[in-house]
């Protein structure tokens, strides 16, 4: 368990000190990107979501209170950004053509406001890919506000669970992969990645062929590639045929990381048969690099 979850008792200048870890400061900063839609979110959005998450997890939140009242005061730094997509494939939704897209990213860092080791600083990142119609950009603000709040809550869940998942038994981590809570499920996937839990490969493969969000399934694909189990090549190949050309290129690179005969056969097929020239070119380059690495007999 990381240090800032461990209670300590002392007496402060303002009376008895609360031993529970408590978030007393929050700083929010938006990172600007040219071409992104004009949108600003006040600090209250993040404070309200933080208090909601704290009540659900038992984490104390006392924004603005003196750090001397607490044995484990914590500061939360939140950086978020909207990055416009350069190239997208327009999608029709009802009467609107979704011809624009942005990548929403939220990074939250929890830092003890007392002497601490580097490992006691925890960071979590969550992202969302959002397509919208330029002609209907005014109604987009409400959706973006909800997505921003949800992404921020996801980072908080990842932060809370990070300490617990570090020491959790592998079977418990596997159970969380089937959780109905989407944020807990994503945190469990990250734990599998950090701890390299090969026992989770079958569960991750099942997630690829499920109705989970595309964002989560793309994350799962990256974790499978990092774990390097050849059994993941075929499921990843099938998944790669269901997504956009840009995402197919990414998945081809992950399949190449795993390597092996199945990976080479799939990349050869993609390099000669895929409908999109950029995908064929990327697969050809990946295949060429893989063949160069083959040992000479």
Those residues with Cβ within 8 angstroms of residue 114's Cβ, 6 or more apart along the chain or in another chain: 72, 73
Res 88: pLDDT: 59
pLDDT along the chain (297 residues), means of 10: 36 62 90 82 87 76 84 91 74 62 90 84 86 66 88 86 74 88 84 92 94 91 96 96 93 95 95 94 94 69
Which of 79, 75, 80 has the alpha carbon at shortest distance from 26? 75
Res 20: pLDDT: 77
User: How is 237-287 classified by DSSP, letter by letter?
Assistant: HHHHTTS-HHHHHHHHHHHHHH-SHHHHHHHHHHHHH-S-HHHHHHHHHHH
What's the number of CA atoms in the CB half-sphere (13 Å) around residue 114?
16
* Distance, CA of 6 to CA of 112 (rounded, Å): 12
Res 58: pLDDT: 66
Res 280: pLDDT: 95
- In angstroms, the Cα distances linking 235 to 90, 97, 254 are 27, 32, 12
Res 6: pLDDT: 37
Res 18: pLDDT: 80
Sign of CA dihedral 211, 233, 256, 185: positive
Res 134: pLDDT: 64
pTM: 0.61
Which of 47, 68, 232, 3 has the alpha carbon at shortest distance from 153? 47
Res 96: pLDDT: 61
Provide φ and ψ at 128, rounded to 5°: -140, 140
Res 274: pLDDT: 95
Res 197: pLDDT: 94
Per the CB < 8 A criterion, the answer to whether 162 and 124 are in contact is yes
Res 227: pLDDT: 96
Domains, the chain, in order of start with CATH, read 1-167 (3.30.160.150)
């Amino acid at each position: 368990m990381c240090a800032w979850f461990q209670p300590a008792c002392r007496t402060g200048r303002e009376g008895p000190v609360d031993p529970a870890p408590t978030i007393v400061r929050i700083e929010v900063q938006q990172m600007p990107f040219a071409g992104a839609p004009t949108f600003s979110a006040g600090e209250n959005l993040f404070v309200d979501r933080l208090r909601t998450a704290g009540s659900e997890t038992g984490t104390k939140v006392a924004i603005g209170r003196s750090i001397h009242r607490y044995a484990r005061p914590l500061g939360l730094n939140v950086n978020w950004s909207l990055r416009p997509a350069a190239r997208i494939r327009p999608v029709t939704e009802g009467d609107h053509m979704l011809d624009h897209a942005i990548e929403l990213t939220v990074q939250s860092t929890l830092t003890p406001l007392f002497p601490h080791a580097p490992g006691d600083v925890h960071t979590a990142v969550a992202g969302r890919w959002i397509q919208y119609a330029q002609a209907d950009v005014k109604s987009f603000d409400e959706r973006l506000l909800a997505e921003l709040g949800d992404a921020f809550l996801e980072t908080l869940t990842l932060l809370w669970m990070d300490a617990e998942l570090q020491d959790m038994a592998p079977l418990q981590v596997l159970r969380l992969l089937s959780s109905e809570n989407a944020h807990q499920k994503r945190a469990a996937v990250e734990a599998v990645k950090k701890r390299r839990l090969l026992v989770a490969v079958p569960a991750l493969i099942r997630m690829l062929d499920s109705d989970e969000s595309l964002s989560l399934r793309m994350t799962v694909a990256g974790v499978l590639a990092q774990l390097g189990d050849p059994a993941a090549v075929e499921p990843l190949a099938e998944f790669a045929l269901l997504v956009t050309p840009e995402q197919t290129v990414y998945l081809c690179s992950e399949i190449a990381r795993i390597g092996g005969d199945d990976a080479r056969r799939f990349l050869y097929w993609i390099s000669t048969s895929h409908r999109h020239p950029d995908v064929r070119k990327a697969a050809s380059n990946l295949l060429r690099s893989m063949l160069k690495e083959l040992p000479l007999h």
